[in-house]
Amino acid sequence: MQAHICILFLLPLMCIPEPVHCSINPCCYFPCEKKGICVRFGYDEYECDCTGTGYYGKNCTIPEFWTKVRLFYKPSPAFYHYVLTRFKWLWDIINHTFLRDLLMKTVLTVRANLIPSPPTYNSDYGYISWEAYSNVSYYTRVLPPVPEDCPTPMGTKGKQELPDPQIIAERFLLRRKFIPDPRGTNLMFAFFAQHFTHQFFKTHGRMGRGFTRALGHGVDLGHIYGDSLQHQHALRLFQDGKMKYQIINGEIYPPTVNDAAINMTYPPHIPDEKRFAMGQEVFGLLPGLLMYATIWLREHNRVCDILKAEHPTWDDEQLFQTARLILIGETIKIVIEDYVQHLSGYYLKLRFDPELLFGVQFQYRNRIAVEFSHLYHWHPLMPDRFHIQGDTYNYQNFLFNSSILLDYGVEALVDSFSKQIAGQIGGGKNMNHNILKVPVLVIMESRLLRLQPFNEYRKRFGLKPYKSFQELTDDKEIAAGLQELYGDIDALEFYPGLMLEKPQPNGNFGESIVEIGSPFSLKGLMGNPICSPEYWKPSTFGGTIGFDIVKTASLQKLVCLNVKKCPYVAFHIPKKQSSDESTPTGKEPSIEL
């Protein structure tokens, strides 16, 4: 009864007089600003640890002198996004001067410094602990979980019960009509995003939702080589450093599970001879993932041939290990200079050069955060149909159809996926009904892990919290629906907030995905060991030839050096092509799976 009285009549951060003790944790109000850490004392007292934040005061809200100076000159994220995505003539000049490297260094350091290193929290420890640091079986977390003893699921704001995730998905995320990405992002990009991120987003469901099986926590190419030594050995040829493969119609493809005895995720009716064996067990799901797995397999074996010719005395193990380091370097360069470049829309030409950070305080270690995993569920990219060389496939005859790769070949898939536009990620109402279960599961998982509200993450990454649902989205229907279901903008959950935020002008998603996601991405890429002064040298990559493979890597080279005829390949549709996803491309074939 006393606890009930406290919940009804408690004023912010006050409790009814002794001898009745209030059971509400004052940290449920998230009182500490500017990265301050809330520590509870007694029943109803708290203290904000403002150490190293540049602020002081009870709630870390009073800026120190140099913080005031920095804030006075610091532009808002919206301002520098505006500048970076306009004035192309000016950026064409800057990109050919020393200012490019200076700006790139600033981008890398400012972004990476937003991610705590070493890691701080995990889903079992909402406070600093040795376990949260040392146990790499956990995803890390930027913000601690919402305390378990709060009056509402999101702290103190909002309703006593959160809305049904299925209702959220159907009302706000389900596609009514395909909305193409205004920037021209294509399916080549969409499948790359899936393929690339599945090396470090591998939730270990059997242990718990806060655990990961990707213990490398970054770009280790576990999706190519497997996430265990046993998996890797099953895929290796143990000759000249190469991976196992099969020849079909004169071209290299991944082996089947008959030749590489590993467990791959396929429906029971798919025979073993149609089950490709790859580093990631779920890549049989989509032909686009099979395509990338095939390209990287060919690239690994191609690099091994180059190394073998350069170093005839090297044994299989050294050839394999060095080729893997080269492919890691290629991946990072492609991600920064092709993938992130397209994603950002910046006219500043991004550059992968680890030497930019030499001499700067920087930790070459990374931990994948659960918030990053949730943020990267970009399933609105997927269209309603898939167009390949004049044929159209729906989801039923596209999923788990390995024959598509063999029937059309890598060149045809690359060309087709590069010319089909992907969907807009942000803004809502653009997710195909076949994959609507994904956001439902993400929201359910976020509740199990007690992720803090969306606005708390905006504040953590230097963004102003939204004051209303109307400010979050331009869609009046979505705003009214969110108000009805959540009751308070400060109770809005992390993933719905990211997906429903109004997209930036001519952008694929809103400000929050950019400002929260890019620090995770750049820290993970540049925090890789190969970017450190100890690794970034020719000898690591087998000499100048191997080092040059890394330094000159690009998406186009990756594809065109591993196919017979170079197709159109990019992360955006051809500039003159229509952006209508439903452009007729032929009849829908009947296919037996």
Q: How does the average pLDDT of the chain come out, rounded? A: 91
One-letter amino acid at 154 equals M
Residue 527: how many other CB atoms lie within 10 Å: 22
- pLDDT value, residue 5: 37
Residue 422: how many other CB atoms lie within 10 Å: 29
- pLDDT value, residue 374: 95
Segment 54-61 mean pLDDT: 96
Catalytic residue ranges? 198, 376
Is 502 a residue whose pLDDT tops 60? yes
Is 587 a residue whose pLDDT tops 60? no
Segment 470-491 mean pLDDT: 97
Instruction: Specify whether the backbone of 3 is left (phi greater than 0), alpha (psi in -120 to 50) or beta.
Output: alpha
User: What is the distance, to the nearest Å, from the Cα of residue 53 to the centroid of all Cα atoms in its chain?
Assistant: 27
Q: Which residues pair with 63 in a beta bridge?
A: 55
Distances (CA, A) of 476 to 29, 448, 470, 482: 29, 30, 7, 10
Three-state DSSP class for residue 382: coil
Three-state DSSP class for residue 180: strand
- pLDDT value, residue 591: 31
- pLDDT value, residue 310: 97
- pLDDT value, residue 588: 39
Which percentage of the chain shows pLDDT scores above 70? 93
Q: Note if the pTM is more than 0.85.
A: yes
In the structure, what pLDDT confidence band is assigned to residue 19 with cuts at 50, 70 and 90?
A: very low
The residue ranking higher by pLDDT, 209 or 560, is 560
Most confident of the ranges 110-114, 123-127, 469-473 = 469-473
Query: Virtual CA dihedral for 294, 298, 300, 302, nearest 10 degrees?
Result: -170
Q: Are 240 and 308 in contact (CB under 8 A)?
A: yes
In the structure, what pLDDT confidence band is assigned to residue 578 with cuts at 50, 70 and 90?
A: low
Distance CA 536, CA 24 (A): 52
Segment 355-377 mean pLDDT: 92
Residues 6+ apart with CB under 8 A from 43: 15, 21, 22, 23
Is 7 a residue whose pLDDT tops 50? no
Taking only the tens place, the pLDDT of each residue in 177-218 is: 999 999 999 999 999 999 999 999 888 766 777 888 888 899
In the structure, what pLDDT confidence band is assigned to residue 14 with cuts at 50, 70 and 90?
A: very low
Which percentage of the chain shows pLDDT scores above 90? 81
The residue ranking higher by pLDDT, 81 or 577, is 81
Segment 9-15 mean pLDDT: 40
Q: Are 279 and 327 in contact (CB under 8 A)?
A: no
Taking only the tens place, the pLDDT of each residue in 156-175 is: 999 999 999 999 999 999 99
Q: Are 383 and 180 in contact (CB under 8 A)?
A: no
Determine the number of helices (DSSP H) and then strands (DSSP E) in the chain. 25, 8
The string over 96-121, giving b where at least 16 C-beta atoms fall within 10 Å of a residue's C-beta and e elsewhere, is eeeebeebbbebbbebbebbebebbb
- pLDDT value, residue 79: 87
Distance CA 593, CA 591 (A): 6
- pLDDT value, residue 110: 87
In the structure, what pLDDT confidence band is assigned to residue 373 with cuts at 50, 70 and 90?
A: very high
For residue 546, the 8-state DSSP code is: H
CA angle 298–197–533, rounded 5-degree value = 80
518, 510, 434: which is closest to 478 by C-alpha?
A: 510
Q: Are 395 and 207 in contact (CB under 8 A)?
A: no
- pLDDT value, residue 22: 55
- pLDDT value, residue 206: 66
Is 382 a residue whose pLDDT tops 80? yes
Lowest-pLDDT choice from 13-27, 286-300, 323-337, 523-537: 13-27
Is 232 a residue whose pLDDT tops 90? yes
In the structure, what pLDDT confidence band is assigned to residue 590 with cuts at 50, 70 and 90?
A: very low
Residues 6+ apart with CB under 8 A from 213: 202, 203, 204, 227
